[in-house]
Chains A and B, each alone.
Chain A
């Protein structure tokens, strides 16, 4: 295995012939022209589904239309997107374990930065989650910020403790999709339809779902950065 020099030679890229360049450029320009034509031929004024969403906002439990669409009107899509995230991580895990981690002390700048930024990023994530009910924000943005905090920690050489990587990690990874599926099952029993919340409780239910989704999204993104399944052999 040549694992120690994975990406040494970006110059490995052999140059295609000038003819290939020219033909590709021509083909791409044709595609771009056609796409531009299609875009410009769309109706210049089109409110889309704005009206439909605005008419239903009162029943959604939140006042930010994007959050209402994500977590209420199209909750089914969001459920499946959580599953896509999980499947991507399973794909990465199926390809192998985390490469052996050599412990090195981070430089003073990275070290201090990580110590200052990590709590701040967690705070920002919580704020984004909360503000999502009535302004731009929500589970995906908050989850991305959490994921960034995780990546920053991993860059400093921090690794989760062995006790954390088996059951606790897996639980957090599936808590988002699991909460969605549970909510879908409960609403199916109560309201007779998947993810149709009772109007009075919609706001609370959305906040619970978003919190679980944020945790799963953040931890999944950070776990993807590891590039393999963490196992306890890495520290032996």
Chain B
């Protein structure tokens, strides 16, 4: 197994860890961090699999990941702001049924 696939599997692991945290934890801050860990896993898979030939690295996934990271940061900022507003309005940083 080449290193590309070893790193891609680490990315799969990160994605799974994030997914688990997203499902299990209730606090919204934990959920937002979990989604970020999942995103990092996806980025890692993309970057790792870009290097699958001996001579050169595929630049397309790299370009996608560069913009993806910046977009993920801004989406996280929006999510955090939403969480703060929800906390200010309801007193709790989690979704409730009522």
A69 touches which of B23, B52, B56, B63 (Cβ 8 Å): B63
Total interface residues on B, CB under 8 Å, equals 55
Instruction: Kindly identify which residue among B13, B16, B52 contacts A44, using a CB–CB cutoff of 8 Å.
Output: B52
For residue A124, CB closer than 8 A to chain B, the reply is no
Q: Which of B70, B92, B93 contacts A217 (CB 8 A)?
A: B70
A residues less than 8 Å from B45 (CB atoms): 39
A182 contacts across to B, CB distance below 8 A: none
Chain B residues with CB under 8 Å of A46's CB are 49, 52-53
Cβ–Cβ < 8 Å partners of B2 in chain A: 44
Contacting residues, chain B, for A32 (C-beta < 8 A): 12-13, 15-16
* List of A residues within 8 angstroms of B15 by Cβ: 32, 35
User: How far is B25's CA from A28's CA once the two chains are assembled, in angstroms?
Assistant: 14
- In angstroms, Cα B59 to Cα A32, docked, is 27
Establish whether residues B67 and A221, one from each chain, have CB atoms under 8 Å apart when the complex forms.
no
Choose one: A1, A28, A144, A217; the contact of B20 (CB below 8 Å).
A28
**Are A143's CB and B87's CB within 8 A?**
no
Contact bitstring B30-57, A, C-beta under 8 A = 1, else 0: 1000000000000001000110111111
Known contacts A35-B12, A39-B45, A77 near B67 by CB under 8 Å: yes
Asked if B26 contacts A13 (CB within 8 A), the reply is yes
- A48 near B60: Cβ-Cβ < 8 Å: yes
Alpha-carbon gap, A81 to B59, bound state (A): 18
CB of A48 within 8 A of CB of B8, answer no
| A172 contacts B by Cβ under 8 Å | no
Q: Which residues from chain B contact A92 at a C-beta distance below 8 Å?
A: 77-78, 81
CB of A54 within 8 Å of the partner chain: yes
The answer on a CB contact under 8 Å between A39 and B8 is yes
A85 to B69, CA, bound (A): 11
CA distance A3 to B1 in the complex (A): 53
Would A12 and B92 be within 8 Å (CB), given that A47-B56, A84-B74, A143-B70 are in contact?
yes
B interface residues, Cβ below 8 angstroms from A: 1-2, 5, 8-9, 12-13, 15-16, 19-20, 23-27, 29-30, 45, 49-50, 52-63, 66-67, 69-71, 73-75, 77-78, 80-82, 84-85, 87-89, 91-94
28 contacts between A and B (CB under 8 A): A6-B93, A7-B29, A7-B84, A12-B92, A12-B93, A24-B20, A28-B16, A39-B9, A40-B1, A42-B49, A44-B5, A47-B53, A50-B57, A66-B66, A69-B63, A70-B67, A89-B74, A92-B81, A95-B82, A95-B85, A96-B85, A138-B66, A140-B69, A220-B74, A221-B70, A221-B73, A221-B74, A224-B77
